[in-house]
Amino acid sequence: MDASKGPPLKETTSPIPFQELSGPEQYYSLVAQRYANHPNSWSTPVELFQPWYGYAIARCIQHIVEQSFDRQQLVKEWHIIEVGGGNGTLAHCILQYAKQYYGAPLCNALKYHIVEVSPLFVERQRKRLLSHPSVSFHSMSILDWSETISSPCIVIFCEVLDNLPHDRVEWDDETKTWYECRIRETPEKNTSTDNNNNAIVHFPLQDKWIISTMQDWNILSENGQIAAPLHIFSTPYWLYYLQNMVDRLLSSNPCTVLYVPTVAHQVLTTIRRYFPQSHLLVADFDFLPQATRGFFAPVVQNGTKAFSSIEEAPKTTCDILFPVYFPGLSRAIQRLWNPNYIQIWKQSKFLKTYADSKHTRTKSGFNPMLSDFTNTRILFTRNYTNHNK
């Protein structure tokens, strides 16, 4: 879909009264009702668990800046750059927490930026953040950013990388060659399903961004094949190997299909260039059910209907979401930033560490903030310094 028009993210609603819910049945029933009322939209943890999820991120940010940067620098000026601000809910929660807990010197020196490609979301953010006049809105792609900010920065990507375009490549066993793939729309049309008869065409892999991404994310080994073991024994990545083995056994023309996070790598390169004193916080999916074929393959759906392949998807608007390969992301960050600490946690561990989770516990003891979205991880970087001791 056209990202500039904005995905069908639900507008901010009132917080869920978790402590009044009986347990998991009532929670999931409530969530299902929300989706039934808006079948072509979805909610994120930021929206469902507001403000507590956002407060957890704000607390983590506080720890990162206090451990990584000189206090004298911070009280002069520091920045939070949120890429893809959605409805503005996360920014509201972070700034609300900052006013209460960061302390006046740190809070007053903070400059908050939202970089948002969708004009629709920029409009929502402006309305949501009327009580925070210091927020700067940048209606643009982060790839078009051209201003260097030398002060300390925290750059946030909350369910952003999964929406970025990927490149599809294929390894052909017969020719021992990687091919980059492109979609070619054929003039014929299946009128019964309103689907396009799209075709994938192959070209020998030459694109420099694809190659550098595969190398920097540790996807491509020195001999030109998929790097082993790609954390094969780490859930959920072994599932891609299993799926690939089955596909190759059943296919008459066996090949390995791989989706490369080329645009995500371009974004990282841009961030590193224009925010030299930056640390990252990334929250995203590490696995998606009902995905199409291939390593790190996307889910392609139109409303509640999922498609089995990219070629099958209709010409009308559809959502394409990719899982994030966090070990590869960590490797790329290490090469670009070389921080002395990169942590990747399952979301539940992150929230147990940084969230005040008693506020989302139901009467039965079930806590949806800790139990839902099990396919989400959070990565953050920091440096341990002696500045603030």
Domain spans of the chain, in order of start: 3-163+264-287+323-382, 167-260
386 pLDDT tier (thresholds 50, 70, 90): low
Buried-exposed string 267-286: b where 16+ CB fall within 10 A, e elsewhere = bbbbbbebbeebbbbbbbbb
> How far does CA 205 lie from the centroid of its chain?
26
Q: 3-163+264-287+323-382 in CATH: which number?
A: 3.40.50.150
Strands of the chain, DSSP E: 78-83, 110-116, 136-139, 153-158, 167-172, 177-190, 195-204, 255-260, 278-285, 299-302, 305-307, 319-321, 341-346, 376-382
Could you give the maximum distance between any two Cα atoms of the chain, in Å?
69
Per-residue CA distances from 175 to 212, 223, 380 (Å): 22, 14, 41
Other CB atoms within a 10 A radius of the CB of residue 46 amount to 24
> For 179, phi and psi rounded to 5 degrees?
-125, 140
* Contact partners, residue 338, CB within 8 Å, separation at least 6: none
Q: What is the mean pLDDT of residues 181-208?
A: 72
pLDDT for residue 359 is more than 90: yes
Quote the pLDDT of residue 193: 46
Q: What is the mean pLDDT of residues 99-116?
A: 96
pLDDT for residue 195 is more than 90: no
pTM for the model stands at 0.89
Rounded distance between C-alpha atoms, residue 377 and residue 323, angstroms: 11
Say which range, 61-70, 125-134, 208-217, 303-312, has the weakest mean pLDDT: 303-312
Rounded distance between C-alpha atoms, residue 160 and residue 379, angstroms: 13
316 pLDDT tier (thresholds 50, 70, 90): low
pLDDT for residue 220 is more than 70: yes
205 pLDDT tier (thresholds 50, 70, 90): very high
